[in-house]
Amino acid sequence: MRRIVYSQQQIAARVRELGDEIAKTYPDGDLLVLGLLKGSFIFLSDLVRDIRRPLQIDFLVAASYGDATVSSGTVKLVYDPETELGGKHILLVEDIVDTGRTLNRLMDLLQARKPRSLEICALLHKHVAAELRYPTRFVGFDAPNEFLVGYGLDHAENFRHLPYIASLQ
Ligand code: IMP
Ligand code: MG
């Protein structure tokens, strides 16, 4: 059974707001929007078109081992951004924050490259992330603690293409 949690229209409206908020937050300096693949690919592509200021885009690919629906805590970088991070505002774009382990590991790694600033933009936040050591500066929706799919989010690589976000429960 699939229940729609956020419709295509709700997502579009919220992404526009986030884009405005982000543009206002960074009045000057180089901005690099760094998408965490694969989950953020649709969100990022909509979001950057709503950030009305110059920016650059690159991606990170992280792999975590273990079950598809349970975070294992071991995160490995499979693709490292080629773009220079030093001195730039870095906005790390993630689909959903669950335990926060993925972000902890990636933020540690990115912070070590001396960006001018480093912030997280997550489309969804389950607020069960007891382990996240970093603040989530931009959040699309405070999500229910259910397994969500669509708009980039998958279950065993399925459902990413759905234009809305649904719960699998
Ligand atoms: P964390 O490291 O536990 O915060 O896990 C975050 C990652 O787990 C996300 O980037 C997603 O890939 C995946 N994930 C967590 N919750 C969900 C969900 O409800 N639906 C789909 N993927 C999820
Ligand atoms: Mg992901």
User: Which ligand is in closest contact with the Cα of 134?
Assistant: 1
Look at residue 58 and tell me whether its pLDDT is greater than 80. Answer: yes
Q: Residues 124-128: what's their mean pLDDT?
A: 90
**Whole domain around residue 81: which residue ranges?**
10-145
The finding on whether 100 has its CB within 6 A of some atom of ligand 1 is yes
Q: Give pLDDT, residue 65.
A: 58
Tell whether 3 is covered by a domain. Answer: no
Tell whether 67 is covered by a domain. Answer: yes
Tell whether 159 is covered by a domain. Answer: no
SS3 44: helix
pLDDT tens digits along 85-106: 999 999 999 999 988 888 998 9
Among 28, 46, 50, 98, the active-site one is 98
Tell whether 169 is covered by a domain. Answer: no
Tell whether 161 is covered by a domain. Answer: no
Q: Residues 3-7: what's their mean pLDDT?
A: 97
pTM for this structure?
0.92
Q: Which amino acid is at 88?
A: K
Closest atom, ligand 1, to C-alpha of 73: 2
In the reported structure, the alpha carbon of residue 126 is separated from the centroid of ligand 1 by a whole-number distance in angstroms of 9
Choose one of 2, 98, 102 to mutate for the ligand 1 pocket test, by most ligand atoms within 8 angstroms of C-beta: 98
Q: Give the residue with greater pLDDT, 59 vs 67.
A: 59
In the reported structure, the alpha carbon of residue 9 is separated from the centroid of ligand 1 by a whole-number distance in angstroms of 23
Q: Under the phi-then-psi rule, with left for phi > 0, alpha for psi from -120 to 50, and beta for the rest, what region is 164?
A: beta
Q: How many domains does the chain have?
A: 1
Tell whether 61 is covered by a domain. Answer: yes
Tell whether 126 is covered by a domain. Answer: yes
Q: Residues 115-130: what's their mean pLDDT?
A: 92
CATH number at residue 114: 3.40.50.2020
Q: Give pLDDT, residue 82.
A: 75
Most confident of 65-74, 102-111, 139-148: 139-148
Q: How confident is the model at residue 60 (pLDDT cuts 50, 70, 90)?
A: very high
158 φ/ψ angles, rounded to the nearest 5 degrees: -95, 165
Q: Where are the alpha helices (DSSP H) in 6-66?
A: 8-25, 41-48
Tell whether 88 is covered by a domain. Answer: yes
